[in-house]
Amino acid sequence: MPLPQVECTGSITQGDITVFRECIKVKKVFDEFVLRECVEGIEFEADEKCEGVRGWIEPTLILRDGKIIDPRIKDASKYKGCASNGLAGERRLRFSGKCCFKVFARDSRGNIIRLKVKNVPSGNALSKGPDGELCFDFSVRRLYPGASAETFERLLHFVDQEAFELQCLAEAIIDEENNEINNGILLTNVGIFVAIKFDAEVQLCIPVFGYCEITDE
């Protein structure tokens, strides 16, 4: 279903104020949610360039270069009866994919070292990436009880056109009592929070009062 469009030319005058219609392209966040996982017994190894490193590291890990592998969004709605009877149903989307991050840590001397995942216990959402990244698998169903049929159809437009983007942001903390690297190996417990944003690029028609001063901020 195509998005409804308006003519975005000309100007509007209200009293002594005249504004012009301008079409701009922006990223719009349609949904976002946070997931978390705590896993015991994850094993990291120091990168080869950091051979011989030992000692404690700060509990807060540094996660960089986050990317999503195989991101998918599907219509998971359930309707009461046939769609033709006009009864409202549950409007839902299912989000799935795998967020992967390179892991770094700060040692007791303030140096940043790369840690690669060596082993992750089975039966949880975390896994090892192809280059030792820490990966988070997710499959989440989101319900939109307050969305009108028109609003939900707009969401489906971006899904059907594959014009969406999923972004991952994450924070991870290790056990303070198990934060020491021995012989290049760190065996610890990890708690991770992952925020996932569903956005898409849209073109909006907005009123423009004029040009404003450009600053360095």
pLDDT tier for residue 52 given thresholds of 50, 70 and 90 = low
Q: Read off the pTM.
A: 0.78
- Mean pLDDT along residues 170-188: 89
Rounded CA gap, 10 and 35, in Å?
46
The CB density around residue 114, as the number of other CB atoms within 10 Å, is 19
Domain ranges of the chain: 26-203
pLDDT tens for 80-90 read 544 443 445 78
pLDDT tens for 202-211 read 888 888 877 7
